[in-house]
Chain A
Amino acid sequence: MNRIVRTEHLNIPSSIDQIEKVDSLVETLAASLGFGHDALADIGICVTELVMNAIVHAHKEDAEIPVDIDILCCDDGLRISVRDYGPGFETNHVPDPTSPERLFDDHGRGILIVKTMMDDVKCTRLDDGMKIEIFKKLNESSK
């Protein structure tokens, strides 16, 4: 890993109304690191996907259960980890939302979008939950 410029930690209750706050902090930090408009959108999209999944799928919106979000601003890019305390899931076995029988479903596209938009995605199944780490590279095309 490269040099860490700044770190932030968020511990939020599992309530959907937290999502805007998380996005706004993450995008502010990413902007101060030098990410441009287009990359900021990618980052906002992906962090809201993961935090929504933790709130809705892992914790069934039980506000008592927290979601832990770590934001690492590094000189080579932004690293964010989203950690939940749910049952976990196999990220490589999520059904393909582009298959003909799922194409018109109104859900099921979040993980695909995150994997496509981020430069690196690491999913770890823990004894008591799930940790998903994403990385967006800071370079000429993302500035």
Chain B
Amino acid sequence: MKLKTREQSDVMIVELSGKIMGGPESVQFHDTIKQAIGANRKRVVIDLGEVEWMNSSGIGLLVSAYTTLKNAGCDLKLARTTDKIQSLLVITKLNSVFDSHSSVDGAIQSFN
């Protein structure tokens, strides 16, 4: 897994890529979410478009980002959720928990 962050219209975009299979990289992800809260970024988009696949570790990361941000009064959207990730969200019955958008811009606009 690779992780990059950027800012757009006062929204923090977390871009994930590669295969998310669990391991030390999870720490980096949790740190990024904490940074978003620390920097008072009220709105976060996780861009999944370049993720090759994720296993349950990746789903665990998304759920924990959702709860951590929600508890801090922040809002999370997913963007470019791949078919594979969407099917995992359906299997795990999390599809109705996340607000997914087909583009990053669409996700950003949906905050308003």
Interface residues of A (CB under 8 A from B): 16-17, 19-20, 23, 38, 41, 44-46, 48-49, 52, 97-98, 103-110, 112-113, 116-117
Contact = CB atoms under 8 A, between A and B. Distances in A.
B73 interface: no
Interface stretch (B8-16, B90-98, B100-108): B90-98
**Chain A binding surface SS class:** helix
A48 B61 CA distance: 16
Most buried by A among B22, B54, B55, B88: B55
B92 A104 contact: no
B72 to A, nearest CB: 15
Interface residues of B, number: 25
Interface of B: 19, 21-24, 52-57, 59-61, 63-64, 66-67, 84, 88, 91-94, 97
Given A107-B56, A109-B56, A23 B92 contact: no
Contacts of B24: 16-17
Contacts, number: 69
B62 to A, nearest CB: 9
Contacts of B61: 106
A50 B11 CA distance: 37
8 contacts: A23-B21, A44-B19, A45-B21, A48-B55, A52-B22, A98-B93, A109-B56, A109-B59
A38 B84 contact: yes
A52 B92 contact: no
Interface centre among B21, B22, B64, B93 (most CB of A within 10 A): B21
Contact of A104 (B23, B52, B53, B67): B67
B96 to A, nearest CB: 10
Given A45-B53, A48-B55, A113 B19 contact: no
A57 B52 CA distance: 26
Contact of B55 (A16, A20, A49): A49
Given A19-B21, A98-B92, A113-B91, A41 B53 contact: yes
A52 B91 contact: no
B93 A106 contact: no
B92 A16 contact: no
